[in-house]
Amino acid sequence: MTQVSILIFDIFGTVVDWHGSIVREVSALYPQVDADAFALAWRGGYQPAMQRVRSGELGWTRIDDLHRMILDQILPRFGLEHLSEVERAHLNRVWHRLDAWPDSVAGLTRLKQRFTISSLSNGNIGLLTNMAKRAGLPWDCVLSAEVFRAYKPDPRTYLGVAEVFDVTPGEVMLVAAHQDDLAAARACGLATAYIERPFEFGQAHPKDVSPDAANTWHARDLQHLADQLGC
Protein backbone atom coordinates (compact mmCIF):
# COMPACT_ATOMS: atom_id res chain seq x y z
CA MET A 1 0.00 0.00 0.00
CA THR A 2 1.24 3.46 -0.91
CA GLN A 3 1.72 5.77 2.03
CA VAL A 4 -0.52 8.84 1.85
CA SER A 5 1.38 12.02 2.77
CA ILE A 6 -0.82 14.78 1.32
CA LEU A 7 -4.45 15.35 2.31
CA ILE A 8 -6.50 17.63 0.08
CA PHE A 9 -9.92 18.85 1.11
CA ASP A 10 -13.05 19.79 -0.72
CA ILE A 11 -14.29 22.96 0.97
CA PHE A 12 -17.94 23.90 0.35
CA GLY A 13 -19.98 21.46 2.41
CA THR A 14 -17.01 19.39 3.55
CA VAL A 15 -15.04 21.86 5.69
CA VAL A 16 -17.47 24.79 5.84
CA ASP A 17 -21.25 25.02 6.19
CA TRP A 18 -22.31 27.09 3.16
CA HIS A 19 -26.04 26.57 3.72
CA GLY A 20 -26.08 27.59 7.38
CA SER A 21 -23.74 30.54 6.78
CA ILE A 22 -25.81 31.96 3.92
CA VAL A 23 -29.02 31.48 5.89
CA ARG A 24 -27.43 33.32 8.81
CA GLU A 25 -26.38 36.36 6.76
CA VAL A 26 -29.45 36.56 4.53
CA SER A 27 -31.81 36.25 7.52
CA ALA A 28 -30.01 39.08 9.28
CA LEU A 29 -29.89 41.41 6.25
CA TYR A 30 -33.22 40.59 4.58
CA PRO A 31 -35.59 39.06 7.17
CA GLN A 32 -38.48 39.02 4.66
CA VAL A 33 -36.64 36.50 2.43
CA ASP A 34 -36.92 32.68 2.65
CA ALA A 35 -33.22 32.29 3.43
CA ASP A 36 -33.25 28.49 3.13
CA ALA A 37 -34.68 28.68 -0.41
CA PHE A 38 -32.30 31.52 -1.24
CA ALA A 39 -29.23 29.51 -0.18
CA LEU A 40 -30.41 26.47 -2.15
CA ALA A 41 -31.12 28.56 -5.27
CA TRP A 42 -27.72 30.22 -5.15
CA ARG A 43 -25.87 26.96 -4.70
CA GLY A 44 -28.15 25.34 -7.29
CA GLY A 45 -26.75 27.65 -9.97
CA TYR A 46 -23.19 26.56 -9.23
CA GLN A 47 -22.80 23.38 -11.31
CA PRO A 48 -24.67 24.82 -14.35
CA ALA A 49 -22.46 27.95 -14.22
CA MET A 50 -19.26 25.86 -14.11
CA GLN A 51 -20.65 23.76 -16.95
CA ARG A 52 -20.79 26.90 -19.12
CA VAL A 53 -17.04 27.29 -18.55
CA ARG A 54 -16.30 23.58 -19.06
CA SER A 55 -18.20 23.62 -22.37
CA GLY A 56 -16.24 26.64 -23.58
CA GLU A 57 -19.30 28.91 -23.71
CA LEU A 58 -17.54 31.07 -21.10
CA GLY A 59 -13.77 31.57 -20.85
CA TRP A 60 -11.98 30.75 -17.60
CA THR A 61 -14.00 32.42 -14.82
CA ARG A 62 -13.36 32.56 -11.09
CA ILE A 63 -16.02 31.31 -8.71
CA ASP A 64 -16.42 34.81 -7.25
CA ASP A 65 -17.61 35.93 -10.67
CA LEU A 66 -19.82 32.86 -11.20
CA HIS A 67 -21.38 33.42 -7.76
CA ARG A 68 -22.12 37.00 -8.75
CA MET A 69 -23.73 36.01 -12.07
CA ILE A 70 -25.99 33.53 -10.27
CA LEU A 71 -26.79 36.07 -7.54
CA ASP A 72 -27.88 38.65 -10.11
CA GLN A 73 -30.12 36.01 -11.69
CA ILE A 74 -31.87 34.92 -8.50
CA LEU A 75 -32.36 38.28 -6.74
CA PRO A 76 -35.65 39.13 -8.57
CA ARG A 77 -37.12 35.77 -7.56
CA PHE A 78 -36.70 36.80 -3.90
CA GLY A 79 -37.89 40.39 -4.30
CA LEU A 80 -34.35 41.76 -4.00
CA GLU A 81 -33.90 43.22 -7.49
CA HIS A 82 -33.51 46.68 -5.89
CA LEU A 83 -30.15 45.79 -4.26
CA SER A 84 -27.41 48.29 -5.11
CA GLU A 85 -24.02 47.39 -6.56
CA VAL A 86 -22.43 47.82 -3.11
CA GLU A 87 -25.03 45.57 -1.49
CA ARG A 88 -24.65 42.91 -4.19
CA ALA A 89 -20.85 42.98 -3.90
CA HIS A 90 -21.08 42.65 -0.12
CA LEU A 91 -23.59 39.79 -0.28
CA ASN A 92 -21.51 37.97 -2.89
CA ARG A 93 -18.57 37.96 -0.48
CA VAL A 94 -20.59 35.85 1.96
CA TRP A 95 -18.77 32.92 0.30
CA HIS A 96 -15.56 34.32 1.84
CA ARG A 97 -17.24 34.38 5.25
CA LEU A 98 -18.57 30.83 5.51
CA ASP A 99 -18.35 29.26 8.96
CA ALA A 100 -16.43 26.03 9.49
CA TRP A 101 -18.31 22.98 10.72
CA PRO A 102 -17.74 22.65 14.51
CA ASP A 103 -15.20 19.82 14.10
CA SER A 104 -13.18 21.30 11.21
CA VAL A 105 -10.52 23.42 12.92
CA ALA A 106 -9.73 20.83 15.60
CA GLY A 107 -9.77 17.98 13.07
CA LEU A 108 -7.52 19.79 10.59
CA THR A 109 -5.12 20.78 13.35
CA ARG A 110 -4.72 17.13 14.32
CA LEU A 111 -4.39 15.93 10.72
CA LYS A 112 -1.78 18.64 10.02
CA GLN A 113 0.57 17.06 12.55
CA ARG A 114 1.04 14.01 10.35
CA PHE A 115 0.08 15.14 6.85
CA THR A 116 0.49 18.11 4.57
CA ILE A 117 -3.02 19.56 4.38
CA SER A 118 -4.30 21.69 1.52
CA SER A 119 -7.59 22.83 0.10
CA LEU A 120 -8.57 21.60 -3.35
CA SER A 121 -11.67 23.60 -4.12
CA ASN A 122 -13.31 25.08 -7.15
CA GLY A 123 -13.39 28.29 -5.08
CA ASN A 124 -10.74 30.82 -6.06
CA ILE A 125 -7.53 31.42 -4.11
CA GLY A 126 -8.57 34.79 -2.68
CA LEU A 127 -11.88 33.39 -1.47
CA LEU A 128 -10.18 30.39 0.15
CA THR A 129 -7.51 32.54 1.79
CA ASN A 130 -10.01 35.02 3.23
CA MET A 131 -12.20 32.15 4.44
CA ALA A 132 -9.28 30.36 6.10
CA LYS A 133 -8.08 33.52 7.84
CA ARG A 134 -11.55 34.28 9.23
CA ALA A 135 -12.44 30.71 10.20
CA GLY A 136 -8.96 29.72 11.43
CA LEU A 137 -8.44 26.87 8.96
CA PRO A 138 -4.75 25.94 9.36
CA TRP A 139 -3.83 25.02 5.76
CA ASP A 140 -0.26 24.23 4.82
CA CYS A 141 -1.14 25.32 1.30
CA VAL A 142 -4.12 26.83 -0.53
CA LEU A 143 -4.75 25.01 -3.81
CA SER A 144 -7.67 25.84 -6.04
CA ALA A 145 -9.08 25.14 -9.48
CA GLU A 146 -7.64 28.61 -10.21
CA VAL A 147 -4.10 27.20 -10.03
CA PHE A 148 -4.88 24.50 -12.59
CA ARG A 149 -7.35 26.54 -14.68
CA ALA A 150 -9.78 23.63 -14.54
CA TYR A 151 -12.66 22.82 -12.20
CA LYS A 152 -13.07 19.54 -10.38
CA PRO A 153 -13.83 16.84 -11.45
CA ASP A 154 -11.34 17.55 -14.25
CA PRO A 155 -8.37 15.13 -13.81
CA ARG A 156 -5.99 18.08 -14.19
CA THR A 157 -6.98 19.22 -10.70
CA TYR A 158 -6.34 15.92 -8.86
CA LEU A 159 -3.25 15.03 -10.87
CA GLY A 160 -2.07 18.64 -10.65
CA VAL A 161 -1.84 18.29 -6.87
CA ALA A 162 0.38 15.21 -7.19
CA GLU A 163 2.57 17.11 -9.64
CA VAL A 164 2.82 20.18 -7.38
CA PHE A 165 4.09 18.00 -4.53
CA ASP A 166 6.15 15.72 -6.79
CA VAL A 167 4.48 12.56 -5.49
CA THR A 168 2.50 9.73 -7.08
CA PRO A 169 -1.33 10.11 -7.14
CA GLY A 170 -1.55 7.30 -4.56
CA GLU A 171 0.30 9.46 -2.02
CA VAL A 172 -2.55 12.00 -2.17
CA MET A 173 -5.96 11.54 -0.51
CA LEU A 174 -9.03 13.63 -1.30
CA VAL A 175 -11.32 14.28 1.67
CA ALA A 176 -14.84 15.27 0.58
CA ALA A 177 -18.53 15.05 1.41
CA HIS A 178 -19.45 14.34 -2.22
CA GLN A 179 -19.22 10.88 -3.78
CA ASP A 180 -18.87 12.22 -7.36
CA ASP A 181 -15.79 14.28 -6.42
CA LEU A 182 -14.28 11.24 -4.67
CA ALA A 183 -15.04 8.93 -7.60
CA ALA A 184 -13.26 11.27 -10.02
CA ALA A 185 -10.23 11.46 -7.71
CA ARG A 186 -10.18 7.67 -7.38
CA ALA A 187 -10.19 7.31 -11.16
CA CYS A 188 -6.95 9.34 -11.11
CA GLY A 189 -5.39 6.99 -8.55
CA LEU A 190 -5.92 9.06 -5.40
CA ALA A 191 -7.00 7.60 -2.07
CA THR A 192 -10.36 8.93 -0.86
CA ALA A 193 -12.10 9.71 2.42
CA TYR A 194 -15.83 10.40 2.58
CA ILE A 195 -17.10 12.77 5.26
CA GLU A 196 -20.76 12.59 6.27
CA ARG A 197 -22.37 16.00 6.23
CA PRO A 198 -26.02 14.97 6.50
CA PHE A 199 -27.23 18.56 6.87
CA GLU A 200 -25.12 20.17 4.14
CA PHE A 201 -28.38 21.40 2.57
CA GLY A 202 -29.93 22.40 5.92
CA GLN A 203 -31.79 20.59 8.68
CA ALA A 204 -34.91 20.47 6.50
CA HIS A 205 -33.12 18.64 3.68
CA PRO A 206 -31.07 15.71 5.08
CA LYS A 207 -28.97 13.96 2.47
CA ASP A 208 -27.99 10.32 1.99
CA VAL A 209 -24.65 9.67 3.67
CA SER A 210 -24.40 5.93 3.05
CA PRO A 211 -20.90 4.52 2.80
CA ASP A 212 -19.42 3.62 -0.58
CA ALA A 213 -17.01 0.70 -0.14
CA ALA A 214 -14.83 2.14 -2.90
CA ASN A 215 -13.59 4.88 -0.56
CA THR A 216 -10.48 4.25 1.51
CA TRP A 217 -12.11 5.80 4.60
CA HIS A 218 -15.59 6.82 5.76
CA ALA A 219 -15.87 9.27 8.65
CA ARG A 220 -18.60 11.17 10.47
CA ASP A 221 -16.49 14.33 10.54
CA LEU A 222 -12.86 15.49 10.49
CA GLN A 223 -12.24 14.57 14.14
CA HIS A 224 -13.43 11.05 13.36
CA LEU A 225 -11.12 10.94 10.33
CA ALA A 226 -8.20 12.03 12.54
CA ASP A 227 -9.13 9.24 14.98
CA GLN A 228 -9.07 6.66 12.21
CA LEU A 229 -5.78 7.90 10.78
CA GLY A 230 -4.19 7.74 14.24
CA CYS A 231 -3.52 11.49 14.54
Binding residues for a copy of itself, per CB under 8 A?
A: 64, 116, 118, 124-126, 128-130, 132-133, 140-143, 146-147, 164-166
When the beta carbons of 33 and 125 are compared against a copy of itself, the nearer one is 125
- Min dist CB 124 to a copy of itself, Å, is 7
Decide: 118 and 148 in contact? Cβ < 8 Å.
no
How near is the Cβ of 129 to a copy of itself at its closest, in Å? 4
State the nearest-atom distance from the C-beta of 86 to a copy of itself, in Å. 15
Q: Nearer to a copy of itself by C-beta: 127 or 182? A: 127
As measured in angstroms, the least distance from the Cβ of 5 to a copy of itself is 10
Query: Considering beta carbons, is residue 137 or 182 the nearer one to a copy of itself?
Result: 137
Tell me whether residue 124 or residue 192 sits nearer to a copy of itself (CB atom): 124
